[in-house]
Amino acid sequence: MHNLTKLAFAITTASIIAVSPMALHAEEANMSQQLSEARYKGSVMTAIATNRNLSPFSIDVDIQGDKAVLTGEVESEVDKDLAEQVALGIDGIEDVDNKLTVDPEAERREYAEGERSLTSRLGDATTTATIKSKLLWNESTQGLDIDVSTENGVVTLTGNAASAASKDLAEMLAEDTDDVREVQNELKVNGEEQSNVAERAEAEANNAENAISDAWITSKVKSSFLFSRNLSGTDISVKTTNGMVMLSGNVDTDAEKALAEETAKNIQGVNQVDADALSVEG
């Protein structure tokens, strides 16, 4: 599946994340904003890169809510104004902080060797959004303070984990994501912070039992399969009844079946997984 399609899917599915009743709105708003900003950034970058007057220049884009921040160097005031109008033309962008500098000698060039291409940067935005979604859906990591950044397929995890096991799980979820080349796990596990994070994760997980619907669980299990580099191509059907997930369809190996079952078990709100109808064809 194309990166932009995956990003759109991540945005759609992550926008209805359910946690505790009181935390629901805040968690949804925070995740929705992060994913919307990733989408806006990709859209603005694409529009600039496909504009023949702007594509020769190195223009960086940052998104802050509904505002696009443009930095870099262009050849003229006309180019600067054009970049601003192009950004404003993106649906959802209401304001532009135009920090582009004008230099008549600004270099017009193709991407230099080693420079990140547009496709690479869009792919990184997709990867970051996907991993954030997976961490929020997983019952063992959804309450943790974890930041995710991606550059050229290298994912960096920072923040705090409740335990060494949670730290390792976050790394595993990141590694099992398409287009990830390497994971740099800089999560900290220590003293009082560990206790506070663990308590918050446990409280949110307990409260979530009353807030998560069967439809939400089914959606997140399916999405987790799609986002897994080892399961994205499998033919697995998912049905949830009263927190019990039933998997059916076909996989190639016993390892894939075990991974599908374990992935489903770790989604918030899942009480039990029945994989008897999931056949191994290999």
Q: What is the pTM for the complete model shown?
A: 0.58
120 token code pair: 């690479």
Residue 18 near residue 208, CB atoms below 8 Å:
yes
3-state secondary structure of 55: coil
Topology of the domain comprising 214-280: Histidine-containing Protein; Chain: A; (3.30.1340)
Question: 93-98 long-range CB contacts below 8 Å, 24 or more apart?
Answer: 93/40, 93/44, 93/66, 93/67, 93/68, 94/66, 94/67, 95/66, 95/67, 95/68, 96/67, 96/68, 96/69, 96/70, 97/64, 97/67, 97/68, 97/69, 97/70, 98/70
Number of neighbours of residue 183 by Cβ within 10 angstroms: 21
Q: Please give the single-letter amino acid code of residue 273.
A: V
Cα angle for residues 41, 160, 139 (degrees, 5° grid)? 80
Domain ranges in the chain are 214-280
Per-residue pLDDT of the chain (282 residues; tens, 9 = 90+): 445 445 544 444 444 444 444 444 455 455 556 667 777 888 888 888 877 778 788 888 999 988 999 999 888 888 898 889 889 888 889 999 999 998 887 766 554 444 556 666 667 877 887 888 888 888 888 767 889 998 888 999 999 888 888 899 999 999 998 889 999 999 998 644 444 544 555 555 454 444 578 888 888 888 888 888 888 767 899 999 999 999 999 999 999 999 999 999 999 889 999 999 999 986
